[in-house]
Amino acid sequence: MTPPTSPFGRTVCAMVTPFTDDGGLDLDAARRLADRLVGEGRCDGLVLSGTTGESPTTTDAEKSALIRAVAEAVAGRARITAGVGTNDTRHTVELARAAEAAGADGVLVVTPYYSRPPQDAVAAHFRTVADAVGVPVMLYDIPGRTGTRIEPDTMLRLAEHPRVAGVKDCAYDLLGSAKVIAETELAYYSGSEELNLPLRSVGAVGYVSTVANVAGPLLAAALDAFDAGTPQEAARLHRRALPLVELMMASGLPGTVTAKGLLGALGLPGGGAVRAPLREAGTDRVAELLKTYERVTGHAPLPAPAPHPS
Strands 106-110 and 137-141: parallel
Residue 168 designated active-site: yes
11-228 belongs to which CATH class? alpha beta
Region 109-130 average pLDDT? 97
Q: Give the chain's count of helices (H) and strands (E).
A: 12, 8
Domain ranges of the chain: 11-228
For the question of residue 113 being annotated catalytic, the response is no
pLDDT confidence band for 132 (50 / 70 / 90) = very high
Please identify which of the residues 168, 188, 189, 293 carries the catalytic annotation: 168
Half-sphere CA count of 76, side-chain side, radius 13 A: 0
Q: Is the distance from CB of 193 to CB of 245 less than 8 angstroms?
A: yes
User: With 80 as the cut, is the pLDDT of residue 268 above it?
Assistant: yes
Beta bridge partners, 188, equal 167
- In this prediction, residues 200-204 reach a mean pLDDT of 96
Catalytic residue among 140, 188, 189, 293: 140
Amino acid at site 142: I
CA distances from 65 to 24, 70, 104, 210, 245 (A): 12, 9, 11, 21, 30
CA angle 27, 32, 37 (to 5 degrees): 120
Structure pTM? Answer: 0.94
pLDDT digits (tens, 9 = 90+) for 16-65: 999 999 999 999 999 999 999 999 999 999 999 999 999 999 999 999 99
What distance in Å separates the CA atoms of residue 261 and residue 274, rounded to the nearest whole number? 10
Tell me the mean pLDDT in the region 241-269: 97
Residue 299 has a pLDDT of 73
Could you read off the pLDDT of 279-307 as tens digits, one per residue?
Answer: 999 999 999 999 999 999 987 554 444 44
Please check whether residue 49 is in contact with residue 68, taking contact to mean a CB–CB distance below 8 angstroms: no
pLDDT band at 248; cut points 50, 70, 90: very high
Question: In the chain, helix, strand, coil percent, each to 5?
Answer: 50, 15, 40
